[in-house]
Amino acid sequence: MIQILENFSLKSYNTFGLNAVARYFAPFNSKESLVEILSTDIFARSQRLILGGGSNILFLKDFNGIVVHPENKGIEIIKENASTSLVRVAAGEEWDDFVLWAVNNNLAGVENLSHIPGCVGAAPVQNIGAYGVEAKDVIHEVTIFDFKKNRFDILNKDQLHFSYRDSVFKHEFKDACIVVDVVFELSKKHVYNVSYKGLDSKLKECAIVNLQTIRNSIIEIRNEKLPDPKIQGNAGSFFKNPVVEEEDYLRLSEIFDDIVAYKLDNRTYKIAAGWLIDTLGWKGKYHRDAAVHDKQALVLVNKGNATGVDILQLSKNIQDDVFSKFSIILEPEVLFV
């Protein structure tokens, strides 16, 4: 039995804590209830938004359409051999509950992605990443409901066109499907990825390196660095790290010897957006109740009564400043609705 709620406040469904109201809100907990929602007149005639944990979304106003919200649960091993397990995880599972499950079951691959907020269904959309690992490294296939074909379908890894915080779901499949579950390929033979700056030194404090100590170390680092959305509304990194040509990187590194950048290949570098913003002195600056976090320049926070428009304005001021001083365009990582 489905329920489509009307004039539903999304305040506790977005980590900025913005009080946007959805004209309709439709949670589902099974494939059957999803199909029921998708067969309604309301769905057919409304603008649509799929909303997981709302940890990468900025609501600029009320949403005059239907919000479909996965609440389906389930984590199961569907196939295994001596070295790997294929694990199907429902879109409505909390991402970090899945990471905890993997660590407890001694399966490697997602431990570096510990403590990222949000639901499993968004992981392939965003190609979430942290500490040198991205979702694409472990995703095997994704089950979607395709709104055009009006049926469930499976997309394998090659069809997902992953790149940095990007996937097919932001292009060909934008607003055209919902992720229902994700199959991950996790490893029984552990190869740890612990070279990332900060993680290596934290792990030196541990007697042994294993999935659990990597997870604990990452949670500690994240808690030290990032504001807790339950205390101060935010969506993690607001901007993507810009990728620039080598000549632009060399131009900047001649002027700024402390530039934070990573070589991607022979021609391109990824520059830390947080460094660009911090260098221009934005930490702690604000526009009305929207502020740049005082410890982490890449994170914009709601000091209490910010609107989505306040946060957007602050982000535009930062983008303009970065462009005028560095000639670099900062692209938001967060989706504006």
Least distance from C-beta 233 to ligand FAD, angstroms? 9
Annotation marks residue 333 as catalytic: yes
Least distance from C-beta 152 to ligand FAD, angstroms? 13
Tell me the C-alpha distance between 213 and 108, whole Å: 12
> Footprint of ligand FAD on residues 16-75 (CB under 6 A)?
49-57, 70
Annotation marks residue 237 as catalytic: yes
Which of 10, 22, 107, 128 forms a contact with ligand FAD (CB under 6 A)? Answer: 128
Which of 67, 102, 119, 290 forms a contact with ligand FAD (CB under 6 A)? Answer: 119
Closest CA to 87 of 104, 68, 69, 63: 104
Annotation marks residue 165 as catalytic: yes
Tell me the C-alpha distance between 142 and 139, whole Å: 8
| 117 near ligand FAD, rule: CB under 6 A | yes
Structure token digits, residue 214: 């990597």
Residue 81: in which H helix or E strand, if any?
none
| 125 near ligand FAD, rule: CB under 6 A | yes
- Of the candidates 46, 55, 165, 167, the residue annotated as catalytic is 165
Closest CA to 227 of 172, 277, 181, 283: 283
Q: How many residues does the chain have?
A: 337
| 102 near ligand FAD, rule: CB under 6 A | no
DSSP state of 204: T
Is the Cβ of residue 115 or residue 288 nearer to ligand FAD in the bound state? Answer: 115
- Of the candidates 46, 85, 114, 237, the residue annotated as catalytic is 237
| 130 near ligand FAD, rule: CB under 6 A | yes
> Footprint of ligand FAD on residues 243-302 (CB under 6 A)?
none
3-state secondary structure 268-316: EEEECHHHHHHHCCCCCCEECCEEECCCCCCEEEECCCCCHHHHHHHHH
Instruction: Residue 283: count other Cβ atoms within 10 Å of its Cβ.
Output: 16
> Which positions touch ligand FAD (CB under 6 A)?
15, 49-57, 70, 91, 116-119, 121-123, 125-126, 128-130, 169, 178-179, 226, 229, 234-236, 335
